[in-house]
Structure 1
Amino acid sequence: MLRKSLIFLVIWAVAVTASVPFYASARDRVPPPALTNWWQTKLPQLPGSTALAPAAISHQQSLAQYRGKPLVIHFWAPWCPHCIKEIETLSALYNEYARTGIQFIGVAVDSASHVEQFTQKVKVPYPLYIAGFGGIELARGFGNAQGGLPFTVILNKAGEIHYTALGRRSAAEFRQQLNNL
C-alpha cells in the first residue's frame, strides 16, 4: 500500500512539474482579435441558481444575452483542481462586481451529469453552460491555442477580448483587469 502511494506521489509530482512550463509560456501572450460571432454560440445551460434539481439542465441558450455587456467567461471542468480553486475566486468576484454590470459565466468542458454532480457540492452563483469536450474548441476561438484549463476570457462591452488567462490566477490579477474595463 505504501509503495503504491509513493508511486502515485512520484507520478503526480512529475505531472505537476511538467505542466509548469506549459502554463508559464501561455501566461503573458497577447490575445488574438476577438471572435466576431461569439454571441451566436448556443449551449445547454444549467439554471443560474446554485440549487440544482436532478435533470435541471434547460434548453440551449444563446450567449447573445451578454452582447453589449462586459463579460467574464471561465472555461473549466469539474475534474480540474485549478479550475475548482478559480471558481472560488470568480464566485467572490462575481459577488463583488454584481452592481457594476459585469457578467460572469462558466463554460464546463465535461458532461452535464458530471457538472450537475459537482454543483450539488460546490455552489456557483453565476450561470453555467455545458459545452462538453467541444468547449475546448470554443476556448481556442478565444485564443486558448494550447487547449488547457482553466481558461478565462474577459470581454469588454464591444465584445472584444480585453484579457485572457490560461491557468489559475489570483483575485488581485482579475480585479486589476476588471477595474480597467
Structure 2
Amino acid sequence: MLSTDTQVNEGLVLPTLNNEFQSISAQGKPLVIYFFAPWCQICHMSISNLQSTFEKNSNIDVIAIAMDFTDKEEVNKFVARHKLTFPIALGKESLKNEFQITGYPSYYVINEQNLITSKSLGYSTELGLYLRSL
C-alpha cells in the first residue's frame, strides 16, 4: 500500500457502473477510496459499514472501486445486494500497481490536498472508517 502523505494522481478518472466517468480526487472534503472485489467475503461483511459512514457524514465523500471482477453484472449484483448509494468506479489492473493493492478491501483516505492521510486493509468498523477520515 502507498505510504501516508503520498500525493494521489489528480488526473485519475475511471468509468462508473452508470457509464459515466468519476474523478478519483478529493472535492473540498476528505475522500474515502474503497477498493473491493465482488467475490471478496470480507468486502461483503464490511461494505455496510462504509455505506452507513457515508450516509451519516456529509463532511466526507466515498468512492468504491471494483477490482478483479469478471463483468459489470457481477459488480451490479454486489451494489444491488448492499444498496450502495455512493459512486462505484470500475478499476483496472494498472490501478492495483499504482495503489499497491495487496488484498481486499483496501481503504485509503485522502485529504483536500489529495494526500493520503490514512490507509488500511481488511475489515473495518463504521467507527474505524469515520475516525480514519477525520
How far off is 1:176 after superposition?
A: 2.0
How far off is 1:106 after superposition?
A: 0.1
Deviations 1:25-76 (A, max 9, x none): x8xxx93441342x21121112xxxxxxxxxx31333335x34431000000
User: What SS does structure 2 have at the residue aligned with 1:69?
Assistant: coil
Bigger radius of gyration among the two: 1
Deviations 1:111-151 (A, max 9, x none): 322101222322111100001444422431xxx4xx11110
Taking the aligned partners of 1:157 and 1:90, their CA distance within structure 2 comes to 20
Contact in 1 for aligned 2:12/2:24 (Cα 8 Å): yes
Taking the aligned partners of 1:121 and 1:112, their CA distance within structure 2 comes to 14
Q: Size of the alignment, in residue pairs?
A: 132
**More strand as a share of residues:** 2
Q: Which residue of 1 aligns with 2:30?
A: 70
Is 1:106 aligned to residue 64 of structure 2? Answer: yes
Consecutive aligned runs of 4 or more in structure 1 exceeding 4 Å deviation: none
| Stretches of structure 1 lacking an aligned partner (at least 5 in a row) | 1-25, 47-56
Cα distance, 1:130–1:63 mapped onto 2, change above 3 Å: same
Percentage of matched positions with identical amino acids: 26
**More helix as a share of residues:** 1
Is 1:164 aligned to residue 119 of structure 2? Answer: yes
Cα distance, 1:36–1:174 mapped onto 2, change above 3 Å: closer
| Stretches of structure 2 lacking an aligned partner (at least 5 in a row) | none
Q: Which residue of 1 aligns with 2:12?
A: 41
The two structures have a TM-score, normalised by structure 1, of 0.64
Contact in 1 for aligned 2:4/2:115 (Cα 8 Å): no
The two structures have a TM-score, normalised by structure 2, of 0.84
Taking the aligned partners of 1:135 and 1:124, their CA distance within structure 2 comes to 22
